Amino acid sequence: MQSCTMPRLNQKDFFGGLAILLIGGGFTYFAYRLGLGTTRRMGAGYFPFVFGVFTMVLALATMAGAFLSTERLRRLPWRPMVVLCASIFAFVLLLPRVGLVPTVFFTLLLASMADDRGRFIQFLALAAGVSIGAWLIFVVGLGLPIRPFRNPF
């Protein structure tokens, strides 16, 4: 008689896919509430809805692939998760108050704290370059009505 063994679950892929699935689900839910419109006359929620569905499909594929590997998650990396979520919230809170350039600069420095190797000078240069690049692309190039700097006082 042959014994059947259950495949072990790659926890990293499974829980990562689950997190992405929840984010995609949030996108689709809130985008649907904005109104989808049609393909010819797209509503405000059309692109976020398509993005959310696409994200959910990729997340399900990642979760399905978790059954093909046996790599186990040793410990949950709390520091990077908390720091990256904090940088997203900081971006949302700071953008209308201080403008695009300082917001991008600060959130990139905050996100760099997720890396424990301590390459502060490299992150400082990256934050400066991306801040200037964001200003050049979004304000100068695309002409979006985003203030590059704003006095918070």
Task: Please give the pLDDT value at position 7.
Answer: 56
Q: Decide: 127 and 112 in contact? Cβ < 8 Å.
A: yes
Averaged pLDDT in 10-residue chunks for the chain of 153 residues: 58 84 87 81 83 91 80 70 86 89 92 81 90 92 87 69
Domain match, 137 and 82 both: yes
Residues 85 and 116 in one domain: yes
Separation between Cα atoms, residue 64 and residue 75, nearest integer Å? 21
State the residue for tokens 């690049």.
133
- Domain encompassing residue 47: 11-65
Domain membership flag for residue 1: no
Report the number of distinct structural domains present in the chain.
2
DSSP state of 39: S
Q: Look at residue 98 in the predicted model and tell me its pLDDT.
A: 93
